[in-house]
Every structure is written in structure tokens, then in C-alpha cells.
Chains A and B, each alone.
Chain A
Amino acid sequence: MSGKGKQSSKKAVVKVRESGKTAQSSLVNNDTNSETSEPTTSQAIFKTVDNSRHLPRYTNILKRSAEEGVGMEDLDTLQLELEMLLSAVVVRHRTLQDEIASLSSAEERRDRRSKSGKSVPLLKKMREEKFKPKEVNAKSQPPLYTKLYTQRAVRSSASQVASNIHEIGRIEGSKSDAPKLLLPKNDTPNKFWASVDPYCTDIMPEDIKLLEELIATHSDISDFKKIPPLGRHYSLMWAHNDLLQEEDAANPNREKRKNRTDMSHLISKGDKKTNGIAGPLTQRLVSALLEEKVYVGNNNTENKLFRDGDSPVLRDLTIQNSMNLELRMHKELVEQGILEPDAQKKNQEDDEILAEIKRCQQELSALSSHNVVQLKRLFNLAQEESKRQALKRKISNADNEVVEHYKKLTKAKQNKESLTRKEQEKAWACLRERESLLEQLNATK
């Protein structure tokens, strides 16, 4: 075996096969191209040429008659050609399967998008409906006002439901189109009309009842004008609290029962004192006397003066009534010339808290009277408007009747028949009624 011999024999073979490759590859490309979109005319021409060029034995056998049939010498070439066809068919089959799979997946994606498109506006509206009650709560308005808003919210929600149904119908109808593009356009006017709807509806009897209730509630303000009585004085309260704190700090763990008894005893003492002292004048006098005696006590004998000083004050406090005590002291001071008769007025003016309470009450009463006036005005307007709306309904009914009579008249003219007198009188009556209703409506303006 010589290398040279091998090489020389190879060259011719290689050339032949290269040409064969190009032919085969073009045929395969042709079959592959049949799956892709190409112009029909050139495709058909291309296929016809390919059959005769690349499947010569196959084409030849098809042209033969049944008697000639297939010869043994045809088998080798025919096998190769049939194998090419089989390979091309299987490739086409697989390509078509892939195309169908991709189309199915594309359809699934579109369905998901359309579903998500539907849900978005519904979610938005749910949020809006939830947001409104929060606003009402945030404003912290009286409950009666809340009732009014809730009623309107309910009504607007009802109208929203209707518009939602309408919109859903639109979305379903326009499935084949791109739903995302249409939704924003349709959504804005629906939102607008839904928000405006509460302001454009007719006045209902419930609204008028609500106004009547509001007027009644605001008119009755006698409870708010009462001034509560004075409570315990702050100094006594503070002293009481201090005593409790000291006892708790001194004996936190021991003798809880004794502490309670002591506390009750002290509380009873405090109550007695509180009952005794009623007027500011008495308090001031007592505090002044206590200060003087303490000062004197320091200079002289302590025990006797202190006890002697306490006893008459205690006697007076326990025996006499608080009002009488106040009056007696006032009289004595006036007689002695210390106070003038106008002192009571000054005392009243000194109480700043009472003055502030009175001022606030005046402001609230003014505001309440203003509210009552406005509510009454609104009530009157609502009543008038409800009457006018009733008239409008009657007018619309009258219009319908007039239109019906007109239709009858036109039919009679077409049929060349004359109406009876009764029918003519009815028609004229409808027209007169309509005119009278219109006059009433104009009068109410």
C-alpha cells in the first residue's frame, strides 16, 4: 500500500462529492423553507424545479406506466431519494409542532393579560370606596353629618356598581382588541360621573327628614348652658394625694390594713373641713388669722396660745352653716368699715375660670343659632325643590301623553281617518294641563 496511490485516487472522489453536497443542501433548504413564510409564486416554481432536478429517479418512475414499473437498477438511487424526502418530512413535522406550541403559549399569555386588565379597575374602585369612610372619620364630624355622608356614599356605591357592570360588559366585548389601551380612556369619565352623581340626584324624603332632625337637635341646647358646681379645692386635693404618697412610701410592705384605716380617718377629717369652708372670703380671713397667731406664738408661750387660737375657729366651723357664716362675716366687715358694699361684684369678677366658661358658652350659643338658621334655610330650599321636582315629573308624564296623542293623530292622517270628538278633547286637555304645569313651575322660580 503506497501513500501516493491513495492520494491520487482521492482527488476525483472529493470533487464529485462536493458537487453532490451543494445539490443536497439546496434541496434540504428548499424543504426547510416550506415551513417559513415565502412568496407563493417563487415557492411553487422552485418546488417544481427541485422535483425534476433533485429527485430524478423518483420523477422518472412517476412518469412510467404500470407495466414498466420499478426496476432493480432503480432501487439504489430511489432509496437515497426517498430517504431525503423522509428526512425533510420529519423536519417539517417537528417544526410545525414547535409552531403550534408557541402559538398556544402566546394565547395563554394574552389571556393572563386580559384577566389582569379586568381586575385592575375593580381594585381601584374598591380602594376608592374604602378611602371615603376614612375621610369622613378623619374630619371628625358629628354623627348626624356622618349619617348624611354614609347615605350618599351608599347611593354612589350603588351607581358605581351599575357603572362597573357596564364597564365589565365593555371589557368582555373587547377581548379580541388590546384591553390595556382602552381601559384608561374609559375609566376617567366613569370616575367623574361616579363622583358627581351624589350631587345631581333628586332630593329624597329621607334627606328632608334628616334636616328636620338636625334642626330639632340644634335647637335644644339647654343642657349645654348649665354650669357645673365647684369641686373640691385644689389645695385639699393635693394635700390628700401627698398624704397617700407618704403613707405608701413609709410602709410599703407592712400594716396595709392600718394604713387603710388611717387613710379613711384622714379622708373623713378632710371632708369635715371642706364642708365647713365654703366662701373665698372666709378662706382668706382664716389664712390671715392663722399666720398672725403663728407669728405671735413664736414670741410668747407656744402651747397655750396655739390651743386657744384653734378652739374658737373649730367651734364656729362645726356649728354654723357655711352660707350664714359667709353672710355674717360680710356684714361684720362692712360694719367695721374694712369692706365696701360693692365687694361681692369684685369677687365674682376675680373668678377667671367662671368667666371663661361663660364666654365659651356665649360663643357656642351664637354658633348654634347660626347653624339652626342655615339648616332652616336649607330645609326650606329642599322642600321647594322637592315640589319643583314633583312638578317636573308630572310635566314629563304630560309630555309622554302629548306624544302619544300626536302619534295617534299621525296614524289617523296616514289612514285618512278622522279622530272622534272624545279623542280630540282628550288631546286638548293634555295640552292645557301641560301648559298649566309649566306655568306653575315658572311661578315657583
Chain B
Amino acid sequence: MPFTADVAASQIQEHLKSIYNLLHDIESQRIRSEHNLNNIMKTHDKVTPDDKVSPYYQQKLKNLYNAAMTDAQQEEEILRKALSKINEIRTIRNERRIQARNAGNKETIRRGALMKMVQSTAQTLPLYVGKTPGAKPPPLCGAIPAEPTYIAKMGDMVAALVKGNEEGENWILAEVVQFNPATNKYEVDDIDEEQKPRHTLSRRRVVPLPLMRANPETDPHALFPKNSTVMALYPQTTCFYKAIVKQLPTTATEEYKILFEDAAYTTGYSPPLNVAQRYVISIKESKKNKSQC
């Protein structure tokens, strides 16, 4: 969708206003939920001295729990709405950035700023929160891989297996420029502008990165299990290396603890390093095994 600067700006402003209103709705709903939770605690205090829960208090607690559950559902809806608004604003900004680049406005970004941007986009990836314990996370959420027929879109971040000058092949952090259905190949740009900018790769050499983070509290099954072998982005670099998951995140904003394969250490692995969920993907075994750096 072509966006003009004015149209994009007005849409963003409109979204910002709606977010403001939604925040106030969230606050009033939270106050109501807090009121019900206080009632539940009072009832619990009355019940605690007795050994048995009488049918009267059972029925009362049941009613209070139902009311609190209704409040939680309403609060959940408003929060999801607000988060979707934020996500729409990000989408608009991303579209604007792509249009600017296509117009030929290439900006030279310093490495420090690049690394900062890499971290920021990882942290603000949308969070998936399943509504029920049995909800199944969609593809590209956390550790869930993409479907075989999936085609990454323009602007998506991927891990791409490219050839270097002197060294062997490396998995690098790249951005999709376009996909050619005729030749079944991607054109991707290396995030690091210092090196050769564009690569044409077959689909087998491109691994889409997750589009959503998994919530460890509600959907731990969407994370890579402990001691599993993965490909992870080495901190402060744009290259993916073979590694083992040392520890899973416990909250939505936490990161994996990763042990990278490193011959420099006696154990063969580096000490634990933090890597965001976005930059941990399942490993693809290449025939040459020249992924060492």
C-alpha cells in the first residue's frame, strides 16, 4: 500500500489518540478487577479459620471467581486492542522506511546504531499470548518453524547462508528485498552495510526469523527446550553460530541463555550469553560444516 507522508502521519496520530483512550479504559477495568480480587481475599480470610469450606462460602467464592474471570476477559480484550494499535503504528513506520529505501535514499548507519536497532526490533517483536492452555501457537512464533510453503515478505528479517570472501559460508542477519517466484529465489540485503550489500539465494539458504515472541508464562511449549542445538546470533554481531540452549526465559521480556560452540574454550563452549528470542532459530545442517568462524 503506498503511503504518503501526510497520510501516514495522520494515521499514526489517530492511532496514538486511540491508544491514549484505550489506556484509560484499561486503568478503569484494572481498578474494577482489583475490587473483585479484594472481595475474594476477604472471603478467603473468613474461610481460613474454619477447617472446612461450607457450601455457602463455596457458592460465594464460585460467584466471585466468575465475576473476576469476566473482568479478566474484558481487561484482556482492551490490552490486546491497545497492543494491536501499537503494532499497526510499527507497520506503518516500516512501510515508510521501505519506501524511502526504494526511492534511493540510502543512509549510512554507524555500527553502534545498527546494533542498537537490532536489539530494539528484537525487544519490540509482538508477544503471542494464548487464550487457553491448549491454544496452539502459530508458525513463526518463538521456536515454531515456518510452514514449508511460506514465503518471507519484503522487509522481513531472515537468516541467510552466504559465501564470504576468504572464509567459508556464514549465516548472516539479512533483510528480504524481494522474492522471484519464477526462479524461486530471494534477494536479500546484509544488515551490515560495510560488506557486500545484496545476495541472490535459493529458498533453502534462507530461514525466516520469528515474527512473534512466545510468552514463557502461558506458552512455554513454544520455546526451544533446554540443551537443544540451535543457531543463535552472537551478541554485537550480525552472524548466526551453532549453540546450545542453556536456560529458557522465564518472562516475556527475558532472553535465552546460550552457550556458543567455541574452540577457544576448554569446554568447547562459551560462557552463557543472552540472545533475544527473535535471533534463535532451529539449526540447518549443511553438508560442508563450515559454519565456524
Contacts and interface: CB of A to CB of B under 8 A. Distances in A.
Given A69-B17, A86-B127, A21 B86 contact: no
B264 interface: yes
Interface stretch (A34-42, A315-323, A403-411): A34-42
Interface in A1-57: 1, 3, 6, 9-10, 13-14, 17, 20-21, 24-25, 28, 34-35, 37-40, 43-44, 47
A99 B63 CA distance: 11
A144 interface: no
A61 B89 contact: no
Given A69-B17, A87-B127, A94-B133, A106 B58 contact: yes
A97 interface: yes
Given A93-B69, A93-B76, A44 B58 contact: no
B150 interface: no
A103 B72 contact: no
Interface in B13-45: 16-17, 19-20, 23-24, 26-27, 30, 34, 37-38, 40-42, 44-45
Interface string B37-74: 11011101100100011111010011001101100110
B82 A82 contact: yes
Contact of A90 (B55, B66, B218, B254): B218
Contact of A176 (B42, B55, B236): B55
B100 interface: no
Contact of B72 (A43, A89, A107): A89
Interface stretch (B220-228, B245-253, B283-291): B245-253
B79 interface: yes
Counting chain A residues whose Cβ lies within 8 A of the other chain, the interface size class is 35 or more
A275 interface: no
Nearest to B29: A89
Counting chain B residues whose Cβ lies within 8 A of the other chain, the interface size class is 35 or more
A296 B157 CA distance: 147
B86 A78 contact: yes
Q: Among the interface residues A61, A90, A110, which one has the most CB atoms of the partner chain B within 10 A?
A: A90
A412 interface: no
Interface string A50-85: 000000001001101010011110011011101111
A348 to B, nearest CB: 88
Contacts of A90: 72, 76, 129-131, 215, 217-218
Interface in B77-121: 79-80, 82-83, 86, 89-90, 120
Nearest to B127: A83
B123 A83 contact: no
B237 A1 contact: yes
Contacts of B86: 75, 78-79, 82
Contacts of B89: 72, 75
Nearest to B47: A37
A62 B62 contact: no
A10 B127 contact: no
B234 interface: yes
Nearest to A44: B38
A178 B75 CA distance: 40
A96 B131 contact: no
Contacts of A21: 250-251, 254
Nearest to B62: A103
Given A86-B80, A91-B218, A79 B124 contact: yes
Contact of A28 (B30, B65, B133, B251): B251
B63 to A, nearest CB: 10
Contacts of A103: 58, 61-62, 65
Contacts of A125: none
Contact of A83 (B17, B131, B252, B293): B252
Contacts of B132: 94
A100 B251 contact: no
Contacts of B45: 37, 39-40
Contact of A6 (B69, B90, B123, B235): B235
B23 A61 contact: yes
B255 interface: yes
Nearest to B87: A79
A92 interface: yes
A94 B76 CA distance: 12
A43 B38 contact: yes
Q: Among the interface residues B41, B45, B62, B250, which one has the most CB atoms of the partner chain A within 10 A?
A: B41
B178 interface: no
Interface string A206-240: 00000000000000000000000000000000000
A375 B27 CA distance: 95
A13 B293 contact: no
A86 B42 contact: no
Given A21-B254, A83-B83, A40 B66 contact: no
A107 B56 CA distance: 11
Contacts of A176: 54-56
B229 interface: no
Contact of A71 (B16, B38, B53): B16
A46 B62 CA distance: 26
Contact of A76 (B16, B120, B254): B120
Contacts of B273: 10
A48 to B, nearest CB: 10
29 contacts: A9-B236, A17-B254, A17-B274, A21-B254, A25-B250, A37-B48, A38-B41, A39-B45, A40-B45, A47-B34, A61-B23, A69-B17, A75-B90, A76-B124, A80-B253, A86-B127, A87-B129, A87-B217, A87-B252, A90-B215, A91-B218, A93-B69, A93-B73, A96-B68, A96-B72, A103-B62, A104-B62, A110-B55, A176-B55
Interface of B: 12, 16-17, 19-20, 23-24, 26-27, 30, 34, 37-38, 40-42, 44-45, 48, 52-56, 58, 61-62, 65-66, 68-69, 72-73, 75-76, 79-80, 82-83, 86, 89-90, 120, 123-124, 127, 129-133, 215, 217-218, 234-237, 250-255, 262, 264, 273-274, 293
Minimum-distance CB pairs A-B, first 4: A37-B44, A93-B72, A83-B127, A86-B79
Given A1-B293, A20-B253, 9 more contacts: A17-B274, A24-B251, A24-B254, A35-B37, A39-B45, A40-B38, A83-B252, A85-B79, A96-B65
